[in-house]
Amino acid sequence: MKPVSKITIQHSFKESARAQGLGHFHFHDLRHSTASEMINQGVDLYTVGGVLGHKDSRRTQRYAQLATESLAAAIMKIGKKAA
């Protein structure tokens, strides 16, 4: 059995996404979603970067989009400390 190429995986993913009505969804979007979800669950950027194979934390930050609920929870924590 020979290894599957990156192009083959991307093509298969794109075809599957298109078949599900997700025409503009790309394989690389999974990295972004995974990084964002890990950060929203409290995983630190250093660890997320390690999972993604990043050597520079600035690359990891590009993927990190905190959910509104996470931001609100952080603000509430600060508010409780100030009170």
- pLDDT tens-digit map of 31-48: 888 888 888 888 988 999
Confidence of residue 78 (pLDDT cuts 50, 70, 90): confident
Long-range contacts formed by 5-9: CB under 8 A, 24+ apart: none
Q: What angle do CA 30, 32, 33 make, to 5 degrees?
A: 65
Tell me, what's the pLDDT at 82? 62
Q: What is the pTM of this model?
A: 0.61
- The length of the chain, given as a count of residues: 83
pLDDT at 10: 87
Residue 68: the pLDDT is 64
Residue 74, pLDDT above cutoff 80: no
